[in-house]
Structure 1
Amino acid sequence: MSSSAENASSIEKMILKLHDSCMNHIRQAAQSNESEINRILHLEADLFTWLEALKDKPEAQQFQSAHRDFGLAFYAAMSGLYRQAFSSLRSFIEVTVGATFLSSHEFKRRLWVSGDIDISWKSIVSADDGLYSTSFLNQFCPEAMGDKEEMLERLKRAYRRCSEYIHGNVSTSRLLPTDINYRDEVAKEWITVASSSLLTVIHCLMVRYYKDLPAEQKGTVEGSLEDHYSHLMSVRTLLDLPMEENNT
């Protein structure tokens, strides 16, 4: 056997060993978090319903790209690639929420798509004119005014936690294994942050788009809102649900 063939064989063995480690992690992660993973998949399916309802919007391509990032994040988390899982999850949050926000600023949205400007997270979460600002909600969904502090904090918290894993924060680095081994604390935290991110993204889509959707598209997404947000007065108002059933 030539030296190049031997080297290729050695590389293949190394890669397959990594693959086996990932497969073992997938089995353990699935066995240890079955109900939580089912919830993630349910939320992701609800998000897909929203993306289908918005598929004719100018920003649909960005939504689809971000949705693929979530799929990569999920696979990475289940495979034990924890830092990569948080990185792709942050990209999902940033692009989805960024596209939602910039849909109301067509010129800036076009500059972003053409690569002439970057997404400004500071602008997205600005209390003065961001996605959950009073001025934005007044124009698109005044019913959600009472939700803004909770949702904005949830959005910022998820983004910040992903960033801490990405940037090698000391507290998060200590949690990460040095090789591909199941780490229950980290896997469960990713699932928690991912679940919160999906819920918040669905709420962002509701705030920006629900009232402008045609009746048929509204019907396709209302199930997701009722499933996850029927405890909010804003959602009960939008869906015309009885107020006496409001839960705290």
Structure 2
Amino acid sequence: MLYEHLNKITDSSNAVISRTIETNREGLGKVTLVDSDLGTFVSKITGPERAQFEVARENLARAIYFAAAGFYSQAFSSLRLCLELSFAGVYFSANEYKRRRWVSDKEDFSWSNTLAPEKGVFSTEFVNEFYAELSDEARRYADDALSIYRDCSQFIHGKEVATKKISKELTFQEDVLTEWSDSALRAGNAILFLLLVRYGKEIGVYGDQALVDVIQKKFGKIRAVRNGLGME
């Protein structure tokens, strides 16, 4: 009976994957490219927080699979964890004591404190310490992160506004997949921007061609980035 049950789920999810690839290859492809860009950036980070960024990417990879296979609630849940771990990595990179207490399970990570306007990782105070020229751009990425995190949380907590979107059957839902893909793309861009803020000058982003390709593609319209690229 268990074997039959699992086979039924596998057959249904494989059918959804086929429809996903047939109709939404471009949307998921963009998210996969963001994941690749994150991998390029994370590979340049040498601090102990790098482990959190790598786990964050693992969750993004799972989220991509879940989305492609029709497990949409799980896709939103894993996307939230990717966001949370990525932002925690940046926060802890500047707070080693708190990182150690988090690792030893003596302290919890606070999303609200990490995104706080006055002291969070997108605050003017924080950005000014690492890449002051990007401070005017930070708020919109913070707003994106907050919005996406809240939307993903509704699936985790079983809010009706979210769960009513998901079919009781394991089936392809283009509208939900499109919503997830858009959220994942914006989340990935917010994470990349935050990595640029925190590590851009520290790792010499404009002297590394692999990173230049990522930064120019994603943030080439930002004046401070164009200055760094020698385009202004």
TM-score by length of 2: 0.96
Does the 8 Å contact 2:205/2:211 carry over to 1? Answer: no
- Identity of counterpart residues, as a percentage? 27
Residue 159 (structure 2) aligns with: 169
Name the CA distance, whole Å, in 2 between partners of 1:107 and 1:218: 31
1:89 aligned partner: 79
Establish whether residue 201 from structure 1 lines up as the match of residue 201 from structure 2: no
**2:33 maps to what in 1?**
42
Q: Distance in 1 between matches of 2:204 and 2:134?
A: 20
The aligned amino acid for 1:165 is F
**Mapped contact 1:146–1:234 kept (Cα < 8 A):** no
1:74 equivalent in structure 2? 64
Determine the C-alpha separation between the residues in 1 that align with 2:73 and 2:63: 9
Whose Rg is larger?
Answer: 1
**SS of 1:177's equivalent?**
coil
The one-character-per-residue Cα deviations of 1:156-183 (angstroms, maximum 9, x if unpaired) are 1111111122212222111101020111
Contact 2:206–2:212 at 8 Å: present in 1 too?
no
Residues in 2 aligned to 1:118 and 1:79: alpha-carbon distance in whole angstroms: 32
Which amino acid is 2:132 matched to?
A: P
**Greater than 4 Å deviation, 4+ residue runs:** 214-217
Change (3 A) 1:124 1:217: farther
| 1:216 to 1:141, Cα distance in 2 relative to 1, 3 A | closer
> Among 2, 6, 13, which residue is 1:11 paired with?
2
CA shift at 1:238, angstroms? 2.7
Deviation at 1:14, TM superposition (A): 1.2
1: CA distance between counterparts of 2:202 and 2:117? 23
1:224 is matched with which residue? 214
Q: Which runs of 5+ in 1 are unaligned?
A: 1-9, 243-248
**Partner residue of 2:172 out of 174, 182, 186:** 182
2:226 corresponds in structure 1 to 236
- In structure 2, C-alpha distance between the alignment counterparts of 1:49 and 1:163, rounded to whole Å: 28
Distance in 1 between residues matched to 2:125 and 2:62, nearest whole Å: 35
Could you say what the CA RMSD is over the residues aligned between the two structures, in angstroms? 1.4
Measured after TM superposition, the shift of residue 215 of structure 1 is 6.4
CA distance in 2, matches of 1:162, 1:178: 19
Is the 8 Å Cα contact of residues 206 and 229 (structure 2) preserved in structure 1? no
Residue identity in the other structure for 2:56: A
